[in-house]
Structure formats: C-alpha cells, structure tokens
Chains A and B, each alone.
Chain A
Amino acid sequence: MVAAPATNAPVHQSPAGGATLAIRDLHVNIDSREIIHGIDLTVNKGEVHAILGPNGSGKSTLAYALMGHPRYAVTSGEVELKGEDLLAMSADERSRNGLFLCFQYPTSIPGIQMGNFLRLAMKARFGDAAIKTFRKELTEKLRILKMDESYMRRYLNEGFSGGEKKKAEILQMALLKPEIAIMDETDSGLDVDAFKVVADGVNAMRGPDVGFVVITHYNRMLEYIKPDFVHVLIGGKIVKSGGPELALAVDQHGYQPILEELREQGVEIELMEEAGATYAREEPTEREHDPFRSHGLTGL
C-alpha cells in the first residue's frame, strides 16, 4: 500500500503552471434545487482521487456538472482546467480540452458504428493526424481490454452487456488520453472478470500524464485502483479527506462514524431527502438516472 498522508486534509502540491483541475466552492442545482453545497477539490496529473459517498450524496451530480450536462446548473463557484475557465466551455470543448467522464450508465445509440464514432472522436480531439495512427492504437487498446475487433462494427453500446459498456468507456478514455478522467461508479454492475479487465485498463493508463477522479461507493474498486487521496462526499459536501486509510475505514465502519464525528464538531450536514432514503437502497435504475428522459428535455 502507498504510504498514507499524515493528515486528514492532504495539501495538494500544484505544479508551477497551476493545478490541472481546480474546483473552488462549487454549488450545483438540479431543477432549482441545490444538490452540491460548495465543493473544493484540486486534482493534478499523476494523482488518483477517490470520492466515496452514499447514494444520493451528489457524487454523480458533481461528475455531470463538471462534464457540462445541461440539466446541472452551476450556481456559484469556479472550476479551472489547466488554468482555463471550465464552466465557460461547452461539453464538447471540455472533452477536447482533456476532460473525460466515464459514465455510470453509458448511452446506447443505435445506428452509429463504434468504429466510425471512435474515429470522429479522435479526429475531434487530436485533429486529422490522429486518423493515421488510429488503427494501430485501437488494436493495442482492444487487446488490453480483451475486446474483439468486431466491436467496431457494432452500434455504439447497443445491446452491450453491462461489462461491455464499461469496457467501451475505458476504451474511449484510453484512446482520447484525457488529462483529467472522472470515473463515475465504473465498478457498478460488473462481474469479477469484467471488473478486473476494467481495472487493468485503468491501471495501464495511470501515469504522470493523467489525473483520475474515481467515484465509487465500494472499496472494491479502490483495491485495484489504488488512490492517492480519498474524499468522502455526503450531503453535497466533501466532509472528510485523507489517504487510502480513509477508504478502508469507510469500508469497515460505513459513513456513520464520520457523521457522528462531524456532529460532535458541531458541523451541520444537510442530508438530502433522497440521500437519507437511499442509504440502504440498491443501485438506482437506469431510468432514474437518465437525466434527459426523466425531465423531458427536448428541442435544440
């Protein structure tokens, strides 16, 4: 295990040019209801940050807000990506600037061939030159992820199993080489074998050129993808930060001790209705998590 930082709130050593991703006092609304109540988080390339938290604590909201989903409204705060105002960028600009979100429930799009889609995505991120090396890179990544070439002719995520979808997300991440990769519950819904392949895929990417934000509510993921920093997100706030030992503590004792500790310190944690209600609940269904369908967002 990596040597744990000594304090609960590790100090981030920003590189000379500033942090890769700097989130300052971020507040996020969904349908005029505040879900994220002020988050500060700094992530640099080469670091792996884990965000733990019970269902409904705002983990996915944070991920979607960072990725520019139109339903998630940032009401205040700042986010910088490589020193630039992330919030001023459209979703596609964020991606092209090196931000990647590995979705918990990747969208299936019938009629769009995986291979064609990947080629266009590579072209968007790296320009025409990327097309030349695309084939070779693709073959290599497919091998690492134990995916067959035939995936390229299949429609995007259409009819993919849970594991196949997650592998496809990792494949896209590996090809697009983000500088900050957010992984939203990538471990959910995976059997042991698929889980290992996905974790190996992520570990193969780890290095000085990419920072990870790994969102999960199981420690299982963190056993394979060892985090440098662990943050506990409850009620729309990061209530505790630490090293890998924090993840172990949560795994063994749950969130209750942290909540009690905060209460003793007199810190009020506003538990959202949803959060309270979903503590003991199974994972939400895809429908509940489909932000467009459930809210009938239409039109261009």
Chain B
Amino acid sequence: MTTLVAPGTPTELRGAGLNSDTSRAIGAWRGDPDWVLDWRAQAWAAWETIPMPTPTTEGWRRTNLRILALDKVHAISDAVAHVTSRAELPASLQKAIDTGFDHGAVLVQENGTTILTEVDTQLAGTGVIVCDIHEAIHRYPELVRAHLGTLVPPRWQPGMPSNAGKFEALNAAFFNGGTFVYVPKNTTVALPVRSLVYQSDADAAFFPRSLIIVDENARLTYLDEYTSVNTASPEAPPVFGSAVVEIIIKDGGRVDYTSIQEWSLSTAGFLTQRASLGNNASCNWVAVVLGGMYTRGTADVLLQGKGTRADMLGLAFGEGTQVFDFHTLQDHQSPFTDSDQLYKTAMRDRAHLIYEGLINIRTGSYGSNGYQANRNVLLSDTAKADSIPMLEISDNDVLCTHGSSVGPIDQTHVYYLLTRGLPRPVAERLVIQGFFEPVIERIAVDDLKERVRAAVDRKIGEQD
C-alpha cells in the first residue's frame, strides 16, 4: 500500500519555515483537493489571527512558551522511504512495534510519512479501514470530508470551550501524516489498531492529524504512540510539533483508546485529543505521558448523546525539568451522561505538573454524573504540581465530585518495604508503580496494560 504522491517533493521545501507559502506547498505536494487546500488556508489565517498565549492568557498562566523557537523550525522534513516489511525498519522502531502482542493493524510514521502499513487481511475483509490520512482523503473523500475537523476545527469556533486553538490551527495548516481509521456499523475490531508516530528529524516540526471514526454499535481498541529524537545538542531549539487526534464515536459505539507519549526530553510538543460520543456510546481513554521537555496535553470528551459514558484516565511521570501542562474537559451535553476521570502523576527533580480539568454540565444534561480526581506525588522538594479542578453545572439532578491532592510519597509505605530488605530506590519505585496501578488497572485490554507498565517501568527506572 503506497501513499498517493503528487508532483513535487518535500526536498524542495526543506528548510522552509512556518508561513502561508509553505502551508500551500505542503498541500500541493500532498495533492490536496480544493477543500483541504482551503481548509489549510483558513487554519493559517487562524494561526495568524489568534494571539500567541502569554502568561496572562486564561489557561496559559503557568505556561512558558518562550522555550519554543518557531522562527527556526522547518515546516516539513524530507520524505522517508517506505519499507515493505518490519525487518527493514530501523531497529528502534522494530523494537517499538514488537511488543509481544498481536494487533489488527499498525501504521508506522516517520517525519510525517507513513513508512509501513500492516493491516490484518481478515480485518480488511470486514470493511474496516486503516490507512494514512492523506491516502484516506483521496480514497474516501466523502467520509473524511464529513468528519475531518468537526471536533478540532482549523479555526476554533466561537464559544467552543478549552483553549484558543492556536496550535491546533497550526497543525491544520501544516498537517502532514496521521492515521485514518473507520470501523463500519456493528463491527468489532478485536485486536488493537496501532499507530506509531516517530519524529527522527530534530529540525523539522511534526504535525500529524489522526481521524478515527467508529460507526454505530462498532467497537475499536486503539493504541496511539508518539516518540521523537533528541536534538543534536542541548543548546539547539527543542524538537517541536503539534499533534491532533479526533475520535468520533457514533451511537452505541465503544472505543478503548490508549495513548503513550514518549517524546525525547528535548521535545516541546502539543497533543490535542478530542472524542465525541453519540447516544449510548462509551469510551475508555488512557493518556500516558512520560516524555517531552514541555507537553501541552489537551484531552476533551464531548458527551453529545444520551446515556454516554466516558472514563478518562491519565498518568504522567516527570523528571529533570520536564513540564506537563494538562487541560481536560468532560463536556456533558445530554441527559444521563457519565464521565469519570482519574489523573495520577508523579514528579521528581524539578519537574512541574499543571492540571486544569473542567467538568461542564450543560443545560439539558439532567441525570448526569461527573467525577474528577487528580492525584499528584512530588518526589523531591523542587518538584511542583498545580492542580485546578473545575466544575460548571447548569442543570439539576446531577452528581459531581472533584478533588485533587498534591503530596510527598507515602513514607509509611516506603518504610515497610525497606524493612523487607528492598533498597530505598527499589522501594520508592515500587510505591510509585503501586500509585499508578489503579490507572493501569482500568485499561480495558490486558496487552495494553502490560505495554503501559513496561513504559512506566522503563521511565521510572531510568535514573537508577
């Protein structure tokens, strides 16, 4: 399966910065239909119009964007050669996809190019589509056009909650790469579908945009992984990018979505994920964030249909000077909708966690339940966590709770383990793993639990 490539090559664009010409050129190279070209143009206009957030902008008060060097960023990387089998992938990517469990499909993307697509033949026979987003634009134009940007539009709609959409607009103007998944009505995709987005070019930005559509009464398990290289030198501007994921779950559908962000520690990135749920749809969402010098994570669920249920779980472990800037929304738009959020983080060294979570119960959402809990452990005196849970309730007969905590590791737990001979680093690591376990336990698929445990263990063990 190869991507349809229009005349012109990214090599000609190599070194070009973030401007309207480059946005158009990327569209032309990708062979975008007019509506996508237009869409990119709107997005560029939005990027130019929306002011750069500053420490006085609501929702950005604790964020320092001065680390970005957008004038030095290249808008696109050289195209990467496709491979025909896993064996041809670089060793690091082979290792990343070979995690010991079966999957229904996997897409490996490097610097915006889908270099490997594996789709189980049986899966393809059921009408399930898993392909590169640009390929989907050409092969399934109606399907894509009807959904792309409906949750994360190129120009943020007035009155839409969450942030001002500046970096989402940037993604739309330059989007290059991303996964498209469509699961037809009444179809269950038993094995996980995986997307691995890898940035190996430290000078170029990454702008993947994935679109996942799960039709009525269909079911999908999706594993979304992000990695990136380190910059050549610590003085170099950070690897930069903005990734967007839209997940549309129609009536009665269910999605088990796990994302694992393992960017390099010299990457400053934005990851905006939004899901919408139709009547009686449900999702189990787990966001694991381990990498990045700066990560702006936006995770929103829109409970549009009646009787929907969303579990939103989050886990982050920070070290060094990592900053995690999380903004979540549980948007109850219909009656009898349930959302339950649990975000747990542990920060050591001088790592900093920012959490702003909103439960919005809109008018007409009677009979709904919204829960929100953010638990943070600080492993050193210099680590920091700002947790701001928020509630906005505009209807009656609803049940909402929210709570957050910030505190040190439980020394009673550590001492008990010490008395059993575990050296302090091992004891502390075990206590942190135990702290995260209630989040991991709620991942619906056992294989993915193991995948997440392995990622967390690797991260926590790094300094020992």
Which residues does chain A contribute within 8 Å of B409, judged by CB atoms? 300
Within 8 Å by CB of B419, from A95, A111, A297, lies: A95
Which of A95, A100, A176 has the largest count of B CB atoms less than 10 A from its CB? A95
User: When chains A and B are docked, how far (Å) is the Cα of A94 from the Cα of B422?
Assistant: 11
B residues in contact with A117, CB < 8 Å: 417, 420, 430
- Chain B residue nearest in CB terms to A69: B415
Q: Is the interface of A mostly helix, strand, loop or mixed?
A: mixed
Contact residues in A for B418 (Cβ distance below 8 Å):
68, 90-92, 95
Given contacts A69-B415, A111-B437, A290-B412, contact A90 B424 (CB under 8 A): yes
What B residues does A125 contact at CB under 8 A?
A: 421
Residues of B within 8 A of A43 (CB): none
Within 8 A of B (CB), among A101-116: 101, 103, 106-107, 109-112, 116
- Decide if A255 is an interface residue (CB 8 Å cutoff): no
Instruction: Indicate if the CB atoms of A112 and B434 lie closer than 8 Å.
Output: yes
For B416, list chain A residues within 8 Å (CB).
103, 106-107, 109
* Contact in complex: A292, B408 (CB < 8 Å): no
Chain B residues with Cβ below 8 Å from A110 are 434, 437-438
Complex Cα gap A258–B366 (Å): 71
Residues of B within 8 A of A300 (CB): 379-380, 408-409, 411, 428
Known: A111-B435, A112-B434, A300-B379. A176 touches B421 (CB 8 A): yes
B381 lies within 8 A of A121 (CB): no
Give, as a whole number of angstroms, the nearest-CB distance from A51 to chain B. Answer: 19
> What does the 1/0 interface line of B398-416 toward A look like (CB < 8 Å)?
0000000001111111011
**A298–B431 CB distance below 8 A:** no
Partner of A124 from B410, B420, B431 at Cβ < 8 Å: B420
A120 B422 Cβ-Cβ under 8 A: yes
Q: Using C-beta atoms within 8 Å of the partner chain, give the interface range for chain B.
A: 20 to 34
Query: How many angstroms from the CA of A85 to the CA of B380 in the assembled complex?
Result: 30
B430 & A293 in contact (Cβ 8 Å cutoff)? no
Residues of chain A contacted by B421 (CB below 8 angstroms): 92, 95-96, 121, 124-125, 176
B433 touching A92, Cβ below 8 Å = no
B293 at the interface (CB under 8 A from A): no
Interface size class, chain A: 35 or more
**CA of A172 to CA of B438 in the docked complex: distance in angstroms?**
25
Query: What 0/1 pattern do residues 70 to 111 of A give for CB contact below 8 A with B?
Result: 100000000000000000001110111000110100110111
| Complex CA distance for A67 and B416, rounded to whole angstroms | 10
- Inter-chain CA distance A299–B423, complex, in Å, is 17
Decide if A299 touches B381 in the complex (CB within 8 Å).
yes
Q: State in angstroms the CA–CA spacing of A116 and B426 once bound together.
A: 12
| CA of A70 to CA of B419, assembled, Å | 12
B436 contacts partner chain A, Cβ-Cβ < 8 Å: yes
The yes or no answer to B427 lying at the interface (CB within 8 A) is: yes
Please judge, given known A-B contacts A91-B418, A111-B438, A112-B433, whether A298 and B408 are in contact too, CB under 8 Å.
yes
CB distance from B405 to the nearest CB of A (A): 13
B433 with A120: CB separation less than 8 A? no
By a CB distance below 8 angstroms, the chain A residues around B379 are 300
Q: Which of B427, B431, B434 has the most CB of A within 10 A?
A: B434
Residues of A within 8 A of B419 (CB): 67-68, 91-92, 94-95, 100-101, 103
Residue of A nearest to B439 (CB): A111
Counting CB contacts under 8 A, is A155 at the interface? Answer: yes
Would you give the shortest CB distance from B432 to chain A, in whole angstroms?
A: 9
Question: What residues on A are CB-neighbors of B408 within 8 Å?
Answer: 298-300
What is the minimal beta-carbon distance from B145 to any residue of chain A, in angstroms? Answer: 46
Closest to B438 in A: A111
Q: B433 contacts which chain A residues (CB < 8 A)?
A: 111-112
Residues of A within 8 A of B424 (CB): 90, 92
Chain B contacts with A in 234-280, Cβ cutoff 8 A: none
Residue in B380, B413, B415, B430 whose CB lies within 8 Å of A120 = B430
Alpha-carbon gap, A21 to B51, bound state (A): 71
Closest partner residue, chain B, to A121 (CB atom) = B420
Bound-state Cα–Cα, A299 to B407, Å: 9
User: In the docked arrangement, what's the CA distance between A297 and B407, Å?
Assistant: 12
Partner among B413, B427, B436 whose Cβ is within 8 Å of the Cβ of A92: B427
A293 with B412, Cβ < 8 A, contacts A91-B418, A95-B418, A96-B421 known: yes
* Residue of B424, B430, B431 contacting most chain A CB atoms (<10 Å): B430
Q: Which residues of B have CB within 8 Å of A116?
A: 430
Q: Give the distance in Å from the alpha carbon of A113 to the alpha carbon of B364 in the complex.
A: 44
What is the chain A residue whose CB lies nearest that of B409? A300
Give chain B residues whose Cβ lies under 8 Å from the Cβ of A100. Answer: 419
Q: Let me know if B412 and A298 touch, CB within 8 A.
A: no
Minimal Cβ-Cβ distance residue in B for A98:
B421
A69–B418 CA distance with the chains assembled, in angstroms: 10
Tell whether, in the assembled complex, residue B437 and residue A124 are in contact, meaning their CB atoms are under 8 Å apart: no
In the assembly, what is the distance between CA of A106 and CA of B415, in Å? 11
The interface residues of chain B lying within 8 Å CB-to-CB of A172 are: 420
> Given A95-B419, A124-B426, A176-B421, are A107 and B412 also a contact pair (CB < 8 Å)?
yes
- Residue in B closest to A96 when the chains form the complex, CB atoms: B421
- Of the A-B pairs whose beta carbons lie under 8 Å apart in the complex, a sample of 18, sorted by A's number, is A92-B419, A92-B424, A107-B416, A110-B438, A111-B437, A111-B438, A112-B433, A116-B430, A120-B430, A121-B417, A121-B420, A124-B422, A292-B410, A292-B411, A298-B411, A299-B381, A300-B380, A300-B409
Question: Which 4 residue pairs are nearest across A and B when measured between Cβ atoms?
Answer: A111-B434, A111-B437, A95-B421, A124-B421
Measured CB to CB, the residues of B under 8 A from A are 379-381, 407-413, 415-424, 426-428, 430-431, 433-438
Given A68-B419, A298-B408, 5 other A-B residues pairs in contact with their CB atoms under 8 A: A121-B417, A124-B422, A124-B423, A290-B412, A299-B408
